[in-house]
Amino acid sequence: MKTLLNIVLAVVASISLVSCFNDKKPNYQYFPNMYEPVPYETYGEYGIFPNQQQAMTPPEHTVPRGYTPYDYENSTAGLELAKTELQSPYEVSEENLVVGSQLYTLYCAVCHGDKGDGKGILATREKFLGIPSFADPGRNIVLGGIYHVETYGLNAMGSYASQTSEKERWQIAMHVMDLKAALNGNPGMLELSNAGTPTDSTVVETNLAETNNASE
Ligand code: HEC
């Protein structure tokens, strides 16, 4: 009898607690600033903005943080220009080459092959045709051109601008230059940048020119 009374008491007590809760009104807030943001919320509605919308289109010519504009246009002329004058802002280093090699395996090897000979799995299975070898003399594969096609894509090859950062595209480009050198039996990027021999890669040439000037 006593237990029954206890149970009834417990039920009544919990019902009376729950029934005090009014979901139409917010609960008591002890430190409201911890819950209510002081600045405008990104997608909030506020009377002072057009359409009461806080999220507005950014002003013209706004660029996202960390974004570097790319000035070469997506055309054959743009690619040729990038091949002749575009240079990598990043130095050839072992770290850059290692990252480049990993990203190459991830994004490019399916078509271009691990060695860059154009015999990736999608090429041998004939899913994509016309995949060139990086050693193809008719193509004149150089850092600037690689960066350009990674950014825009080229015909059957898609753009990698959304999957990779600017730096990552340069790192991949360095690795592609290494693959090209290996296919041609030439020394790789790192060897060249250390040894001081001229190369077909513009960036190594500039780095060398800088070191030569510095040592004079
Ligand atoms: C879906 C298959 C595919 C993938 C994946 C792919 N490519 Fe290509 N790539 C091609 C094809 C096809 C061409 C030839 C395009 C043409 O000339 O019409 C090409 C051409 C190129 C060229 C030669 C550009 C020139 O100057 O002629 C380079 C360099 C290149 N790709 C680099 C890359 C890199 C780096 C990646 C990875 C980020 C990559 N590709 C991923 C298919 C692919």
| Cα gap 78→127, rounded to integer Å | 28
Q: Nearest residue CA, atom 25 of ligand 1?
A: 139
For 11-43, write each residue's pLDDT tens digit: 877 776 666 667 787 777 788 877 777 888 888
Q: For tokens 């940048």, what's the residue?
A: 193
Domains of the chain and CATH, by start: 76-215 (1.10.760.10)
What predicted TM-score, i.e. pTM, was given to this entire model? 0.71
CB-facing half-sphere around the CA of 29: CA atoms within 13 A: 8
For 108-150, write each residue's pLDDT tens digit: 999 999 999 999 999 999 999 999 999 999 999 999 999 999 9
Question: Is residue 48 classed exposed, middle or buried when 0-12, 13-18 and 19+ CB atoms within 10 A define those classes?
Answer: exposed
Site residues for ligand 1, CB cut-off 6 Å:
107-108, 110-112, 122, 128, 130-132, 139, 141, 145-146, 149-150, 154-157, 160, 172, 176
| 90 phi, psi to nearest 5 deg | -105, 145
**What's the 95 CA to ligand 1 centre distance in angstroms?**
24
